[in-house]
Amino acid sequence: MPCRSRTYQRTFTGCWRCRERKVKCDRFEPFCTPCRKAGLVCSGYQRNLVWVSADQRTYRHNGRRFLEPYQTWKNQPVLSSDELDGLISGCDIGCQGQAHLTSCLPFSAFRAFLESSRVDARIPGICVATESEGACGGAIPIVGNGISVENSRENSAQDFSSFCDIPQDQSLESAPAAGLIGLSIPLLIRAENRITSTQASLFSVYLNAVTPTLVPVHGAQNPWLRYPAIALHSSFQEGRSHLLHALLAHAAFFLGHRGYNKDTMFALGSKYYSSAMAELRAYLREGSTDYIGLLTTVLTFLLIELSRGSTQSWRHHLQAAWSFLQHQQKSKTWLHSSDAWYVTQSFHLLKTGADSAGFIDGNAAQNTEAHDNSDVLAQEVMCNPGYGWTMGTSSSVIETIADINTCAKQLEASDADGYLATIPLRLTRTLMRYQREVFALSTRLDYLVQDPEHLHLQAFQAATVIYYYQVCDDTTPRQLSYLVTTVLDLLSAFFEVCGGSFTLWPVCVAAAEAYREDDQAKFVTLLERVARTGRNMSNYMILLRHIWDVRRSRAAVEGRGIADTRVDWREVMRELEMDLLLL
């Protein structure tokens, strides 16, 4: 009797992380138990399709092919270039009003992005009709998340995603951005938790236009791509919409600051902002705490205030979040997932940046008085090698800035009490190393051949050296001119290379010491570039121009040259009562 060969259909069980580690997975969602106990990030259960060649025997551990290449396109007609271009353009124009369907092929068609690495300023105006919660119309696909949402009325609002010509980084994979986190978002959701077409369009704006501006170099590792999925998960499954409404408010204010239907967008943003605030307060009164949802919502409030150019409101949100984090030090919730860690380190970065301003305002300064960097939160957050990446810097730079803040406070206290303060040897060595690296970089011929992340980091290091001499020494602008020029050249090259969103701290710290008119004009140009990303920079412009005016006036009164006249920008900020966060 001939022997029959048995064939088995191999099934995929467990998350990719457990499969890589060859351990049994319980498939618990959103994070499996083995990964959670091991302190690892659960990579999810979705099928990752990868393209393989016909003679390829192996492929990456976290990817699965669906068909052999020749089988994928077997019996399919070969399209001409014109036909292919027509199909691609049809995906951009004719997709509105069609339900989103998941493709079973290795490739999916997504909304096309411009190849340019800059924000396209030619976005037409947006006119939003009044939302209607009545009859159901067609479904509008949210770009990148694979969820169809209910339309309140046919053509009741325009699809804002068509106006978001923000390019994705070339390193981004074709997988949906929201799929970067293994959350189970049901396709069938409760009717009361469905979102309208206007909300869906604002969500698309946030995902495709706002998130790239929240990190210096946008890429697949951008943590802000993950929080929209968390917001949908919380809203759809748990009925908690405070984070979702906060993200929608951020998107609306973003459009308003870009000049699209300002009154309508600002009114819509204020509506969702108030709604998110009320929902968050009600949620906190219940006594239960969602670490990621709570902190991300407060962080979004803070970013909204920064985008509006607020001079004080942002500090109230930082106070609340920092107080909450201090109570979480024993539980160490930030170690439970990468999302929790990212939002925690964001507030730690913001706290360090806020301390560098030295703004004293009664209760605000008292309530935000931080524990020193030896506390549990600072140690365990800063030890991660990814610390500071979202701000284009490193843990070494942020730790150095924190040490400079401490030294500045000690020097002020020593002047008042009459004792001599000393500079730590570690800080001195770090600053000397930064100066050597900056000098070596400034002697190179072409900044444009450098990696953009390295350019941004070097700008931060040069600005850190400037900041030390500003608050801990009596150095004049003339002595710092080479560092100011280096920061200016590095950030200009950074923008030319990748068109990213550079952090304000090195810009403002260096610009405060600029005394040549051509350098001042270049710094104004940098701030104008930031304003084009949807942020109100008027107060920052006022601060810098006032610093320059004070230096000219003081130089004339004292009979000194402008380059030899020191001005403490922190004192100018206090005189103007501008509590600005330089981040």
Note whether residue 453 is domain-resident.
yes
Structure tokens at 223: 């943590």
Q: Is 260 left (phi over 0), alpha (psi -120 to 50) or beta?
A: beta
279 neighbors 240 (Cβ within 8 angstroms): yes
CA distance 68 to 317: 53
Q: How many CB atoms lie within 10 A of CB 169?
A: 17
485 neighbors 438 (Cβ within 8 angstroms): no
Do 144 and 281 lie in a common domain?
yes
**Strands 139-141, 148-150: parallel, antiparallel or unpaired by DSSP?**
antiparallel
Q: Identify the domain boundary among 288, 312, 343.
A: 288
CA distance 129 to 131: 6
CA distance 471 to 469: 6
341 neighbors 384 (Cβ within 8 angstroms): yes
Cα-Cα-Cα-Cα torsion 107, 113, 114, 118, nearest 10 degrees, comes to: -130
Which pLDDT value is given to residue 166? 35
Cα–Cα distances in Å, from 308 out to 120, 253, 534, 576?
Answer: 21, 8, 9, 18
CA 471 to the chain's CA centroid: 29
Q: Identify the domain boundary among 288, 306, 329.
A: 288
Give 272's Cβ-side CA count (13 Å radius). Answer: 28
Measure the CA angle with vertex 256, ends 250 and 261; round to 5°. 135
Q: How many CB atoms lie within 10 A of CB 48?
A: 15
CA distance 569 to 575: 10
Which pLDDT value is given to residue 246? 94
Do 142 and 279 lie in a common domain?
yes
22 neighbors 78 (Cβ within 8 angstroms): no
Note whether residue 208 is domain-resident.
yes
Number of H helices, E strands in the chain: 21, 2
Which pLDDT value is given to residue 448? 60
Note whether residue 389 is domain-resident.
no
Which pLDDT value is given to residue 582? 77
Written as tens digits, the pLDDT of the chain (583 aa) is 555 556 555 555 788 788 888 888 888 877 788 888 887 878 776 666 666 555 555 555 555 555 566 666 677 777 787 787 777 776 655 444 444 433 333 443 444 333 333 333 333 333 333 333 333 333 333 333 333 333 333 333 344 434 443 333 333 333 333 333 334 444 444 444 567 888 888 999 998 889 988 888 888 888 888 888 888 888 877 778 899 999 999 999 999 888 888 889 999 999 999 999 998 888 888 776 788 888 999 999 999 988 887 777 888 888 888 888 888 777 778 778 888 888 888 888 888 888 877 655 444 344 444 444 346 667 777 777 778 888 888 888 888 888 888 888 888 776 655 555 677 778 888 888 888 887 777 666 466 667 888 888 889 999 999 999 988 888 889 989 889 998 998 888 888 888 878 888 999 999 999 999 889 998 999 888 888 877 888 888 999 999 999 999 999 998 889 999 999 888 888 888 888 887 7
In sequence order, which residues have a C-beta less than 8 Å from that of residue 174 and are 6 or more positions away?
Answer: 107, 108, 110
Q: Name the residue type at position 249.
A: A
Structure tokens at 421: 């303060």
Q: What pairs with residue 149 in β-bridges?
A: 140
CA distance 427 to 404: 8
Using a 10 angstrom Cβ sphere, with 0-12 exposed, 13-18 middle and 19 or more buried, the burial of residue 314 is buried
Note whether residue 377 is domain-resident.
no
Query: Could you tell me which of 348, 340, 419 has the C-alpha nearest to residue 379?
Result: 348
Query: Could you tell me which of 345, 320, 348 has the C-alpha nearest to residue 335?
Result: 345
CA distance 510 to 579: 18
Note whether residue 339 is domain-resident.
no
Do 567 and 430 lie in a common domain?
yes
CA distance 193 to 162: 25
DSSP designation for 556:
H
Using H for helix, E for strand and C for coil, what is the string for 72-115?
HCCCCCCCCHHHHHHHHHHHHHCCCCCCCCCCCCCCCCCCCCCC
Note whether residue 559 is domain-resident.
yes
Note whether residue 53 is domain-resident.
no
Which pLDDT value is given to residue 268? 93
Question: In total, how many domains does the chain have?
Answer: 2
Do 408 and 282 lie in a common domain?
no
Residue whose structure tokens are 């870009």: 258
Which pLDDT value is given to residue 187? 44
Do 422 and 568 lie in a common domain?
yes
Q: How many CB atoms lie within 10 A of CB 243?
A: 30
Using a 10 angstrom Cβ sphere, with 0-12 exposed, 13-18 middle and 19 or more buried, the burial of residue 547 is buried
154 neighbors 224 (Cβ within 8 angstroms): no
In sequence order, which residues have a C-beta less than 8 Å from that of residue 31 and are 6 or more positions away?
Answer: 42, 182, 337
Note whether residue 28 is domain-resident.
no
In sequence order, which residues have a C-beta less than 8 Å from that of residue 264 and are 6 or more positions away?
Answer: 126, 127, 128
Q: How many CB atoms lie within 10 A of CB 168?
A: 21
In sequence order, which residues have a C-beta less than 8 Å from that of residue 249 and are 6 or more positions away?
Answer: 268, 269, 270, 271, 272, 273, 276, 300, 304
Which pLDDT value is given to residue 547? 92
Q: How many CB atoms lie within 10 A of CB 259?
A: 14
CA distance 88 to 111: 9
CA distance 376 to 505: 26
Query: Could you tell me which of 238, 240, 242 has the C-alpha nearest to residue 300?
Result: 242
Residue whose structure tokens are 């860690």: 341
Does a cis peptide bond (omega within 30 degrees of 0) precede residue 30?
A: yes
Q: Name the residue type at position 87.
A: L
Structure tokens at 141: 């696909």
DSSP designation for 171:
T
Structure tokens at 32: 């499996």
φ/ψ (deg, to 5) at 190: -65, 145
Structure tokens at 199: 């909300």
Query: Could you tell me which of 436, 493, 486 has the C-alpha nearest to residue 463?
Result: 486
Q: Identify the domain boundary among 250, 268, 288.
A: 288
Residue ranges making up the domain that contains 568 = 404-575
In sequence order, which residues have a C-beta less than 8 Å from that of residue 15 and are 6 or more positions away?
Answer: 25, 27, 32, 35, 42, 43, 44, 45, 182
In sequence order, which residues have a C-beta less than 8 Å from that of residue 509 and are 6 or more positions away?
Answer: 463, 466, 467, 470, 487, 569, 582
Which pLDDT value is given to residue 119? 37
